[in-house]
Amino acid sequence: MSSPRCAWWTAHESAAHPGRRRAPAIRLSVTADESALEPGASLADEPEVRQELAQGDRASVAGVVASHPSSPLAWTELADIADSEGRHLESFAFASVAVDLAREQLAASGWTPGSPVPWSDEPNRAYLRGLDTQRRAAGHLGLDEKAAQLADELARADAEAPARIASEFTPTQLIPIIVTDSLPPAAPTEVPAGDSNPDAAPGAARED
């Protein structure tokens, strides 16, 4: 468990260098009563990638990937977009890259497959979401065994992650836009014959 001085130093360094990319690390997970659990791995933070994604739109995500090709987060976002648009083959490919990059980064810090990767550490969500997106795409493509393997890897990484992803990162579906040109023309308004002359007063006498 980190000492107060270590926690202060981490916060001080983050404030002094907001753009610095935090390296992958192995963290000791603890329960609410401070009892130790298994060490949990942590991906590197990606503040520049997060900022670019937040400032852009769906069309700009591919450009973020091109600028940060080693970013698991950028690839996961691209995979989620493909998934939401029903492009399952592309979604599977993009998510595969995200997951492979995340595994490489985690392994470099000493992580081994099957070890915890806590959802509570936000950078890890790129890996966990990537696994779930790849799992969904595999299911759509008929790769049932692959989908089951990915589901198992996700559950072993963090048992709560599947429910969190389902509630917080459900792929958005495209909503058709109705344009005015496609609407039928409005029917003309008919004016009663007795009101055709607005200047005529009701009951006025007719002059010869």
- Is residue 79 within 8 Å of 109, Cβ to Cβ? no
154 domain residue, yes or no? yes
What's the total number of domains in the chain?
1
Q: pLDDT-derived band of residue 84, with 50, 70 and 90 as boundaries?
A: very high
Token couple for 84: 């939401």
197 domain residue, yes or no? no
pLDDT digits 0-9 by tens, 49-69: 999 999 999 999 999 999 999
* pLDDT at site 165: 96
pLDDT exceeds cutoff 70 at 98: yes
57 domain residue, yes or no? yes
- Is residue 55 within 8 Å of 84, Cβ to Cβ? no
* Mean pLDDT over the full length of the chain: 78
Range of the domain at 154: 4-168
pLDDT digits 0-9 by tens, 168-199: 986 654 333 333 444 455 555 555 555 555 45
| CA separation, residue 40 to residues 29, 112, 127, 156, 163 (Å) | 6, 10, 13, 12, 19
9 domain residue, yes or no? yes
Of 131, 122, 121, 118, give the one whose Cα is nearest residue 157.
118
pLDDT exceeds cutoff 50 at 130: yes
**What's 42's domain CATH number?**
1.25.40.10
